Structure 1
Amino acid sequence: MTHKFFTAQQIATEISQFNRQLADSYRTLQSLTDCDTGPTPKDCIYTEDKLRLYKYRSQVADSCQTPLLICYALVNRPYMLDLDEQRSFIARLTASGIPVYLIDWGYPDAADCFLDMDDYINGYLHTCAEQVKRHSGQPRINLLGICQGGCLSLSYTALQPDNIKNLITMVTPVDFHTPGNMLSHLIQKTDVDLMVDTLGNIPGQMLNDAYAALMPMRLSLQKYLNMPGQCATEEQAAGFLRMEKWINDSPDQAGEMFREFVTQFFKSNGLIHNTVRVGDRQVNLKQIQQPILNVYGSYDHLVPPAASKALQGLTASSDYRELEIRSGHIGVFVSQKSRQTLAPAVSQWLTERDH
């Protein structure tokens, strides 16, 4: 093993270059007027409590008649899928002729602390599916669930299979007890009942801190040390700020929903053991016969590949396909590699099964 040593002059030069980059990036950031997100035009077609259901305006003639409903996780905001014009998964879908609808869960407050899985799945998600069917005039929908939203989508499809034509899960944990699941290891040691009984709703910032603690060097120190080089131009700086805005824009979690989800999915590994219950009904993944596209990130530290790939064989689907994106959890949607592969693959998969 060889070691590389730097001279005092080399160290001084590197520090000087970093200071210049830092000053330049500061001036660039000061020059920005805004860093808006969500550029793809959309219309709100339904509201209920904090929830908003959006239909994105079509850019071209529909290549797929069955509408696609996107069910995002509760713990972050869905504009990650439409961050800016260059990094918009949704814009690429609509440009390929996919009619896209999206659930925005909003920001729960103290009045929502008793909402549970029954309210979210049999209530909100089911109502949104019915609204999409009514708005589109189609008898069934395609459902795309992301991360926690994938767990909700799997549960909903098992409970309401007649409503779903095709199912897509993205960076979705299925086996919560895989060895490399650092987030699950952390949660196993957490007294979720004490948290909810004490706090009511779970603060979004608390969850953000927990995610950052899983990889503190990469997600905190290294990221900000690299920031000056990533903000050399206004476009780069705006992109950096949009990502920072999204990372820190974490809604609080409805207490009872958080309690039930952590207990049934994380602690009891309910999808693997077939023990998940929503209201008075048991979720049986064997009720899912629809085609399934399961997308996962090779370097995902929040949902390791093994946690997602465990879905294979748990359903009764005879048309199951996996799509590997060589990126991390968020990079699946915004990395340069995924921009050219994810949306085209999803569009093609849906169009081929639109019959």
Structure 2
Amino acid sequence: MKGPLDITPDGLALEALAMQQKLSAGLRTLPEVEEVHFGASHKQEVWRDGKTVLYRFVGEKAPTAKVPLMIVYALVNRPYMVDLQDDRSLVKGLLARGEDVYIIDWGYPDRSDRFLDLEDYIERFIDGAVDHLRQAHDVDAINLLGVCQGGTFTLCYSALHADKVKNLITMVTPVDFHTPDNMLSHWTREMDVDLFVDTLGNVPADMMNACYLMLKPFRLNLQKYVGLIDILDDKQAIENFLRMEKWIFDSPDLAGEAFRQFIKQFYQGNGFINGGIDIGGRPVDLSDVDMPVLNIYAEQDHLVPPNASRALRDLAGTNDYTELSFKGGHIGIYVSSRAQREVPTAIHEWLSKRSR
């Protein structure tokens, strides 16, 4: 006889047996799981300023693209998400299509970096890396691909240095920070960021991770670990799970002064919309972004809602604006099987049409 939730004694017995079998399989599988590593593509250091390093990815064949593509990742996580593993790598997909791909690695800030500000990250590190590539490749301008907060940085940089950016690609990049569904923005708008930074100095990575996990507390703190039982008999699936966990918790501390400015100018001031973004004494106006722009957003993104990204359409000064929606979430846009099929191809084809 079924109960009000369609639960039967036989069904419970079968479910308990299935769980017992999974747990037994785990006892055999887990000892075989090795330490997980990240990175599908070989890379070489080509430029450095302090802890910030510019790497060039090396593919199986020489690049055919004449203009280099530099990826700018966010400060809050490590950039190897775009090259996580052999079958989940945006970078590998771009290399296979002939792109010449570079990436900035911000490193791990410590107390000596407490007073790094947005001018350092945009006008010192990004501009220094861009100038290196312009000289190394003998080109006037390069292609930029900005990811999440890194996309916000590349928008600022492109507005200030439009002559150095040939094409701009933004992925899951916040532009309007005050959309109603932006939970991070609601949390930070009334925050006393001066007291916060003056007290802590650099922002601890564990504190930032806790904030992100609490955006979806049940799913990110409980459900995924319960679901781990279902893959205990699959060594590769467990290693994939552990690799993702390693990335989530391998987070750098954030330089205090840059954090202060970013919260004030973007999350609180919504500076792209309202004005007031100041990078080293220079105002940022997105109408100065006059190069071709490809804006890619994720339809199920809980960190950067689609409307937060789509706002770029009405603000950028370019006459060549393309928007691409991806059926997935903030992380799925890099690591899902759909992403491997769709995203590198879309980026490469868009760049190829503008390579002349």
Report the TM-score when normalising by structure 2. 0.96
Q: How far apart are the structure 1 equivalents of 2:62 and 2:322?
A: 27
Shift of residue 26, structure 1, vs aligned partner:
4.8
Give the letter for the 1:122 counterpart.
E
1:339-350 paired onto structure 2 within 5 Å: 339-350=340-351
Q: How far apart are the structure 2 equivalents of 1:131 and 1:21?
A: 53
Q: How far apart are the structure 1 equivalents of 2:332 and 2:309?
A: 16
Q: 1:266 to 1:134 in 2, by over 3 A?
A: same
Q: How far apart are the structure 1 equivalents of 2:244 and 2:158?
A: 31
For each residue in 1:30-55, what CA deviation from the matched residue of structure 2 results, as whole angstroms up to 9, or x when unmatched? 21222110120110011111111100
Q: How far apart are the structure 1 equivalents of 2:82 and 2:164?
A: 24
Secondary structure, aligned partner of 1:43: strand
Shift of residue 235, structure 1, vs aligned partner:
1.4
Shift of residue 3, structure 1, vs aligned partner:
5.7
For each residue in 1:154-195, what CA deviation from the matched residue of structure 2 results, as whole angstroms up to 9, or x when unmatched? 000000111000000000000000011111111123221111
Q: How far apart are the structure 2 equivalents of 1:215 and 1:85?
A: 28
Aligned counterpart, 2:243: 242
Give the letter for the 2:159 counterpart.
A
List runs of 5+ in structure 2 lacking aligned partners: none
Q: How far apart are the structure 2 equivalents of 1:4 and 1:146?
A: 44
Aligned counterpart, 1:76: 77
1:110-189 paired onto structure 2 within 5 Å: 110-189=111-190
Secondary structure, aligned partner of 1:311: helix
Secondary structure, aligned partner of 1:125: helix
Q: How far apart are the structure 2 equivalents of 1:198 and 1:182?
A: 24
For each residue in 1:249-308, what CA deviation from the matched residue of structure 2 results, as whole angstroms up to 9, or x when unmatched? 110000000000010000000011122110110001111111100000000000000000
Give the letter for the 1:202 counterpart.
V
Give the letter for the 2:115 counterpart.
F
Shift of residue 226, structure 1, vs aligned partner:
0.6
Report the TM-score when normalising by structure 1. 0.97
For each residue in 1:219-238, what CA deviation from the matched residue of structure 2 results, as whole angstroms up to 9, or x when unmatched? 12110111122343221111
Q: 1:188 to 1:20 in 2, by over 3 A?
A: farther
Q: How far apart are the structure 2 equivalents of 1:338 and 1:22?
A: 32
Identity among equivalent positions (%) equals 45
Q: How far apart are the structure 2 equivalents of 1:18 and 1:220?
A: 20
Q: How far apart are the structure 1 equivalents of 2:170 and 2:129?
A: 18
List runs of 5+ in structure 1 lacking aligned partners: none
Q: How far apart are the structure 2 equivalents of 1:303 and 1:171?
A: 6
Aligned counterpart, 2:282: 281
Q: Tell me if structure 2 keeps the 8 A contact 1:204–1:253.
A: yes
Secondary structure, aligned partner of 1:341: helix
Q: Tell me if structure 1 keeps the 8 A contact 2:41–2:59.
A: no
Aligned counterpart, 1:324: 325
Shift of residue 22, structure 1, vs aligned partner:
3.1
Shift of residue 10, structure 1, vs aligned partner:
1.4
Q: 1:223 to 1:288 in 2, by over 3 A?
A: same
1:220 aligns with 2:247: no
Structure 1 outlier segments of 4+, above 4 Å? none
1:66-105 paired onto structure 2 within 5 Å: 66-105=67-106
Q: Tell me if structure 2 keeps the 8 A contact 1:101–1:132.
A: no
Shift of residue 120, structure 1, vs aligned partner:
0.6
Q: How far apart are the structure 2 equivalents of 1:97 and 1:205?
A: 38
Secondary structure, aligned partner of 2:39: coil
Aligned counterpart, 2:212: 211
